[in-house]
Amino acid sequence: MNKKNSITDLISVIDYLIRTGYSNPSLVASIGVSAGGLLLGAAFNMRPDLFRAIILRVPFLDPLSSMLNSDLPLTRIEYNEWGNPLENKETYEYLASYAPYDNISSIKSQQTCSILVTAAMKDQRVSYWHPLKWVARMRIKQLIDKNDNLLILKVDKERGHFGAENDQSKRIKDVALELAFLISQVQNK
């Protein structure tokens, strides 16, 4: 019941770095992986003006739907961390208040940064439909982007949650793609 603190803490740190001149929104880039994707997705929903580019790698963007489906492999063991929204209305409302997928419509302005989202078809931790649903809803809700920002979805059909963990060549290619994306978005902007 304190998850929002991590989201507002991240926002506060980025805001501080901008206010004190260490950075500016045209240079802020961030990567969120798995539950870190939830953190970054929620922060983006609350303050899209703070970011120039973000990467959401196999992101957990729909915690409410997952926690409502006890048939998913990890849901029951996650009740200790997230609570059980099936049995507790307060837990349901709290999850719904920050879940990235459920709060896209609360974005205060049009998409203000470029986003690269990845999914893995064989991911047993974050079901591939989390990022797919989020990107689909973003494309519906954010039809107009006056700044020519990108919303890219990359789906890997062969890998799981940890990507190419045993194949160094594929890991290097994945990192190269992500770094190229981030650099292309912050240089000369």
Catalytic residues: 34, 123, 161
Nearest to 106 by CA among 97, 95, 116: 97
**Cα 99 from Cα 104, distance rounded (Å):** 9
For residues 55 and 178, the answer to whether their CB atoms sit within 8 Å is yes
Helix (H, G, I), strand (E, B) or coil at 115: strand
Alpha-carbon separation of residue 171 from 29, 82, 109 (angstroms):
20, 31, 35
For residues 43 and 9, the answer to whether their CB atoms sit within 8 Å is no
Helix (H, G, I), strand (E, B) or coil at 25: coil
**Cα 31 from Cα 40, distance rounded (Å):** 8
